[in-house]
Amino acid sequence: MKQNEAKPYSPFRAFLAKFLKQKMAVVAFAVVVAIMFVGIFGSFFAPYDPHRPVTAQYPEKGIDLDQLTNTSVVLEGVMSDGTTVEGSELTRVQVESENRRIASVRQSQRGINVNANTSGFTNATVEAGEVSGVFQVVVEGESQFEGREAVVSRLEPVHPEGVLNEGEEFQIDVTAVLTDGTEITDRGEIHELALRLYETEEEEDTSGFNAPASNAEAIEGLHFQSLNEEVAAVDENGIVTITGEGEGIILVQTGPVKSAVHVQAGGTAEPVLAYLTISEPNVTLTDIYKHQPPSSVHLFGTDHQNRDIFSRVIHGTQDTLLIGFVSVAIGAFLGTVLGLLAGFYGRWVDSLVTRMTDVLLAFPGILLAIAVIAFLGAGITNIIMAVAVFTVPVFIRIVRGSTLALKEMTYVEASRSIGVKDPVIIFRHIFPGTLSVVLVYLTMRIGVAILIGAALSFLGLGGDITAPEWGSMLSAAKDNSGTVFHATFFPGLAIVITVLSFNIFGDGLRDALDPKLKE
Amino acid sequence: MTENVLDIQDLEVSFKSDGKEVKVVNGISFSIGAGETVGVVGESGCGKSVTSLSIMRLIPSPPGRISGGKILYKGENLLDKKERDMRKIRGNDISMIFQEPMTSLNPVFTIGRQIDEVLLLHKNMNRTQARRKSIEMLELVGIPRAEQIYDSHPFELSGGMRQRVMIAIGLACEPQLLIADEPTTALDVTIQAQILDLMRGLKNKTNTAIMFITHDLGVVAEMCDKVVVMYSGEIVEQADVDTLFNDPKHPYTVGLLGSLPKVEEKQDRLFSIKGQVPPPGTVEKGCRFAGRCSHVMPRCTEEDPPLLKLKDGHDARCWLYDDQFKGKEAGARDTAAAGRKEP
Amino acid sequence: MLQFVLRRLIGMVPILFIITIISFLFVHLTPGDPIRIMYGAEIDQETYQTLYEREGFHDPLPVQYGRYMVDMLVHGDFGQSYRTRADVSEEVVRRFGYTAVLTILSMFWAILIGVSVGIISATKRNSIWDRAGMVSTITALSIPEFWFGLMLMQIFAVQLGWFPTSGSGTIWHLLLPSITLGFGVAATIVRFTRSSVLEVMREDYVRTARAKGQKERVVIWSHVLRNALIPVVTMAGLQFGFLIGGAVVVEQVFAWPGLGSYLIDSILSRDYPVIQALILLFSLQFLIINLLVDISYGFLNPQIRYD
């Protein structure tokens, strides 16, 4: 008994206890608060200006443009005796990019410098005298890299041991290392791969465009060629026959990749350069002028005008919440007033309001909103009005319902009987009773309002399509970034998280305040 | 002793709520002989309906669970049967009619189809035979224009008519046992009388054993051979109908009958039983009726009374009769005497 | 029955009347001079007068309205598009087919997914499936259709290349838009079906069916579903209207040449005759759908009689 006196029943505490039981709703509430915080203060901590390309902002941020677009790879030569030579000691070095529009390459002190120009991929050839290797450059951005596959980067031949005698025969074994790191040792397989990879070579040669720097003669598959026929002859299967004394070199080639096999038939000789290794046969760089993929610098990447999507999403929170809150507030206010009047006065007021509500509710919200925009014209204010229009009947209906019930309450009849004026009864005695329902619907409708608002601006009815508003961002992404995943993904995800949080929070509020409301 | 159609032994049924398992039926045992009508009486919430649903193995599970005991139908334990074998028993050997005739028939199917259903399931009939038998059943339960009603939907029938249809469904397969769960509660008084007449007549005709669940002792007096009185998941008294009405022992039965206990003098207090049935699981020790009993003794709140055999076929669960019939320790007599002084 | 339909049709007349007035007044109510919007702001005064005469703006409004109604009802003439000069009624008829196919297929998905998931959720209540179902429905209801469409397009058309990204022509073009449009309604149907089935499973007649010794499968599929699906059908029918609303957005995403994209294009270019015709058409659609839903309800529930 005493416990009861110590803690008087508090409806608020009861509500709080019920609400806190629903863990999902509590989490959703926290997210809602966070989103509102972002909505209010977002412009202060957005890392970039949402209206300008990020490349224009790099200097202010102290980010070195070169670092992002440049990288270098280390070049080494491997001699026939297995020793390695540093790239700077190699002679007759030539580097060439297949497609300079995507990336350009040049020799540098320690190896090769790669510079990204636009998104896509290309192969680059490195030649040092007779031997050559290939590496691939991928510049990430909007391109889809369709048809991209690993090509042969280097061929590692096995050199015959010691001195060979005339008439002796041996087979050249080769390991092909691809740009993605795969190693192929089977000669037949290498041959097949080379046939497939370089089959259009001839045509490209005649067009004189995009062709690898070396070799005008047609090379098919895995090719062997002796440079010193008097010492060694080689057939198409890589079987070498020693024909005389001296030293010879057999070239092994697939497409632009060439290696040398040193054949020693009597006498002693210096080892020769056998093949080239490139430290990074698959170089990945970023196209920083458009559609940068998500990275530590740009969490959500950049859009078609190279604006930081993360900053835009943060800035857009404000507009999106504004559409949600203001439209629902207007709709709830008008709906509550009309609902109270219709419920309280009944008769023709009621039938007029109810009829109007029924007609409005028969139409899907989005079409109603579109119709309002059709009247008022495009623009963000008009979106708010449009969303408000279809929110009104929802509130009329629920407020009217609870007003009808409250009107019959004894305390209302009592105040009537002592001559309290109608406005006072409505405001002091009936309105507070409808408040919990109104509150629940307010929360639940904000989610819907945000969805419809975003849909309207997605349809281009928001006026300014360049504004950092989530719906418009998606609209712009659809038109300009059709193939880029991140440009459409993140703004939409923001909508989903926001709406989902409001919905779950609203559900929890409803269960805690008035479980009867559950459909 | 004649062979029993149904023999319930120490049946326990538990329900889970808020993570706790609560026993709503606590070790009840009784039996129904062939052709016998047994009334099960008690206030709502005392476990009568749960008992009847347990016999059919239709306890919604979860949250319900039959946690102990045996239900022997013709000597076979129904609780051991596979669901498939149980289905062959339901509606065929044991059938059931429910309290709410208004909602117990499926609103979208015709009356005929709903009677046919049970025949087609159990009686190996084709549709024409089923139809003939169904119409026969409708006539048997006193429905005029049976052919026409056969094609009607439930909403076209009154409550009494629907209960007749339920009875027709229940008896269609000529079951050994019919469980009637408050079949007349939802009906008007005049209709009640008609339905009871009908059931009595049919019982005489078919010799079906009936388990008649009700809270109305008047109905019991009219219908039953034997009565089981339940309180808060336990049997508090059982006897044949004459004994129970002439010589009720348990204070609860006495209260139900609204008459005087023969053992005590303070009569006027017993006309209505004060208080309510304690929710299952709230009484931890002692007699469950102690809180409402006008004869409560200190012992009642300490020890759970067993079902005491007063004489052949008459049991009661009350400490009042402990010393009298068993003549055990003297201390108990003192406490009983002290208890009697108290009110 | 016939009487009921007739009465409902007659009841539609005043609403239709109001809608035709709204649609007629559309040109007059929107801000700006209709002639200048129709023919451009830079026309000189003389041309302006001739056009004003020719369009009949000098007549009093009721006369203009009468002419509008006669053109529409007698001649089936909804005017010409300002933008393309094409006959509006022809264009509407052509595009109507596209929208109809899209919405019907979407409804098919929505019912297929919605009802089956709803039944599974209800019969396996509180299981993992049920919970997963409930979480995905509330999520689905929070996903904007257009974004879902864009994501499907990204994954299945752009990345995997299984479907064409947009446009029309083959059945493959239809698949992504219809799934996009159907999934939101599917979520609504799941929730509704689940609660409806759960409610019916608590009914006494379900217990009766079990007490007859009926198999659980038959109890669910025959006794429960037959009853539980009656409100679901009604609800699904009403959702049809909302599918048409959603179609406006989804058609825009997938460049589907239906009425929705026609409407948006016309609003953006202020093509009034088209907007007028579409307002009428959409309103009429909703009224007819609501009527059909009411009628179908009677077929399913023997208890409803049309009086």
Q: Are C211 and B95 an interchain contact pair (Cβ–Cβ within 8 Å)?
A: yes
Q: Are A455 and C29 an interchain contact pair (Cβ–Cβ within 8 Å)?
A: no
Residues A372 and A278 both lie in one domain? no
In this structure, is residue C51 part of a structural domain? no
In this structure, is residue A40 part of a structural domain? no
- Hey, where are the domains in chain B? 101-172, 247-341
Residue A147: the pLDDT is 64
Residues A236 and A336 both lie in one domain? no
The total of other beta-carbon atoms located within 10 Å of residue B272's CB is: 8
CA distance C147 to chain A (A): 6
Residue A516: the pLDDT is 58
- Crossing angle for the helix pair A309-345 and A347-362, nearest 10 degrees? 150
Partner C, chain A 454-493, Cβ-Cβ below 8 Å: 454-455, 458-461, 471, 474, 477-478, 482-483, 485, 488-489, 491-492
Q: Are C227 and B106 an interchain contact pair (Cβ–Cβ within 8 Å)?
A: yes
> Residue range B335-339: average pLDDT?
40
* CATH, residue C229: 1.10.3720.10
Q: Which two tokens stand for residue C118?
A: 């709803």
Could you give the CA distance from residue B37 to residue A209 in angstroms, rounded to a whole number?
104
Instruction: Spell out which residues of chain C touch residue A451, defining contact as CB-CB under 8 Å.
Output: 142, 144
Domain count for chain A, please give it.
Answer: 2
Q: Are C165 and A482 an interchain contact pair (Cβ–Cβ within 8 Å)?
A: yes
CA distance C289 to chain A (A): 10
The chains in contact with chain C, meaning 3 or more Cβ pairs closer than 8 Å, are: A, B
Are C118 and C193 a contacting pair, CB within 8 Å? Answer: yes
Is the bond into C14 cis (omega within 30 degrees of 0)? Answer: no
Instruction: Spell out which residues of chain C touch residue B177, defining contact as CB-CB under 8 Å.
Output: none
In this structure, is residue C117 part of a structural domain? yes
* CATH, residue A468: 1.10.3720.10
For residue A285, the cross-strand partners are A139
Residue B260: the pLDDT is 41
In this structure, is residue A14 part of a structural domain? no
Q: What percent of chain B clears pLDDT 90, i.e. is strictly above it?
A: 0
Are A133 and A214 a contacting pair, CB within 8 Å? Answer: no
Q: Are C267 and A474 an interchain contact pair (Cβ–Cβ within 8 Å)?
A: no
Q: Are C213 and B89 an interchain contact pair (Cβ–Cβ within 8 Å)?
A: yes
**Residue in chain C nearest A445 by alpha carbon:** C142
**Whether pLDDT at B342 is above 60:** no
Are C218 and B114 a contacting pair, CB within 8 Å? Answer: no
CB-based contact, C218 to chain A, within 8 Å: no
Residues A366 and A418 both lie in one domain? yes
Q: Give chain A's length.
A: 519
**Whether pLDDT at B36 is above 70:** yes
Q: Are C208 and B169 an interchain contact pair (Cβ–Cβ within 8 Å)?
A: yes
Residue A66: the pLDDT is 65
Of B169, B184, B164, B181, give the one whose Cα is nearest residue B55: B181
Question: Could you list the pLDDT tens digit for every one of the 519 residues in chain A?
Answer: 444 445 667 777 777 877 777 778 888 888 888 888 888 887 787 777 777 777 777 777 766 666 667 777 788 888 877 788 887 777 777 787 777 777 777 777 767 877 777 777 788 888 888 888 888 777 776 665 666 777 888 888 887 777 777 777 888 888 888 888 788 888 788 888 877 777 654 444 444 444 444 444 456 778 888 887 777 888 877 788 888 777 788 888 887 888 888 887 776 667 778 888 877 777 777 666 677 777 777 777 777 777 888 888 888 888 888 888 999 999 999 999 999 888 888 788 888 888 888 777 777 778 888 888 877 877 888 888 888 988 899 899 888 888 888 888 888 888 888 888 888 888 888 888 888 888 888 888 898 899 888 888 888 887 677 777 888 888 888 777 767 778 788 888 988 999 999 888 888 888 787 655 544
* CATH, residue A222: 2.60.40.1080
Q: Which two tokens stand for residue B49?
A: 């309906």
Instruction: Spell out which residues of chain C touch residue A495, defining contact as CB-CB under 8 Å.
Output: 143-144, 147
CA dihedral C230, C102, C106, A448 (to 10 degrees): -100
In this structure, is residue A44 part of a structural domain? no
**Whether pLDDT at B20 is above 80:** no
Residue A202: the pLDDT is 45
Domain span at residue C277 reads: 88-300
Are β-strands A282-286 and A131-140 bridged in parallel, bridged antiparallel, or unpaired? parallel
Q: Are C139 and A496 an interchain contact pair (Cβ–Cβ within 8 Å)?
A: yes
Let me know if chains B and A touch, i.e. at least 3 Cβ pairs under 8 angstroms: no
Instruction: Spell out which residues of chain A touch residue C158, defining contact as CB-CB under 8 Å.
Output: 144, 482-483, 485
Residue A334: the pLDDT is 93
Residue A333: the pLDDT is 93
Residue A331: the pLDDT is 92
pLDDT tens for C22-41 read 878 777 766 666 677 666 66
Residues A273 and A312 both lie in one domain? no
In this structure, is residue C29 part of a structural domain? no
CA distance A438 to chain C (A): 21
Residue A203: the pLDDT is 43
Could you give the CA distance from residue C219 to residue B134 in angstroms, rounded to a whole number?
20
**Residue in chain B nearest C125 by alpha carbon:** B62
Of B218, C150, B149, give the one whose Cα is nearest residue A475: C150
Can you say whether the dihedral through the CA atoms of A421, A426, A428, A429 is positive or negative? Answer: positive
Least confident span in A506-515, B52-61, B300-309, B318-327: B318-327
- What is the reported pTM? 0.72
CA distance C213 to chain A (A): 33
Q: Are C213 and B155 an interchain contact pair (Cβ–Cβ within 8 Å)?
A: no
The position carrying tokens 């007698």 is: C74
Q: Are B95 and C212 an interchain contact pair (Cβ–Cβ within 8 Å)?
A: yes
Domain span at residue A139 reads: 67-286
Name the helix (H) or strand (E) containing C240.
Answer: helix C225-254
The chains in contact with chain A, meaning 3 or more Cβ pairs closer than 8 Å, are: C
CB-based contact, C275 to chain A, within 8 Å: yes
pLDDT band at B283 (very low <50, low <70, confident <90, very high): low
In this structure, is residue C48 part of a structural domain? no
Residue A326: the pLDDT is 92
CA distance A9 to chain C (A): 33
**Whether pLDDT at B341 is above 50:** no
Distances in Å between the Cα of A494 and the Cα atoms of A35, A43, A314, A461, C94 are: 10, 16, 9, 20, 37
Residues A474 and A344 both lie in one domain? yes
ipTM: 0.82
pLDDT tens for B217-246 read 878 888 888 888 888 888 888 888 888 888
Q: Are B118 and C212 an interchain contact pair (Cβ–Cβ within 8 Å)?
A: yes
Substitution target in A303, A446, A461, A478 with the highest count of C β-carbons within 10 Å is: A478
Q: Are A500 and C264 an interchain contact pair (Cβ–Cβ within 8 Å)?
A: no
Residues A246 and A394 both lie in one domain? no
CB-based contact, C58 to chain B, within 8 Å: no
Give the CA count within 13 Å in the CB-facing half-sphere of A290.
13
In this structure, is residue A194 part of a structural domain? yes
Counted across chains A and C, CB pairs separated by less than 8 A come out at 111
Q: Are C165 and A461 an interchain contact pair (Cβ–Cβ within 8 Å)?
A: no
Q: Are A496 and C141 an interchain contact pair (Cβ–Cβ within 8 Å)?
A: no
Let me know if chains C and B touch, i.e. at least 3 Cβ pairs under 8 angstroms: yes
Domain count for chain C, please give it.
Answer: 1
Residue C38: the pLDDT is 67
Q: Are C227 and B108 an interchain contact pair (Cβ–Cβ within 8 Å)?
A: yes
CB-based contact, A495 to chain C, within 8 Å: yes
Higher-scoring residue by pLDDT: B313, C55: B313
Question: Could you list the pLDDT tens digit for every one of the 307 residues in chain C?
Answer: 677 778 878 877 887 888 888 878 777 766 666 677 666 667 777 777 777 777 777 777 788 888 878 877 777 777 777 777 778 888 888 888 888 888 889 999 999 998 888 888 888 877 788 888 888 888 888 888 888 888 888 888 777 778 777 777 677 788 888 888 888 889 888 888 888 888 888 888 888 888 888 888 888 888 888 888 888 887 888 788 778 888 888 888 888 888 888 888 888 777 778 888 888 888 888 888 878 877 777 676 666 544 4
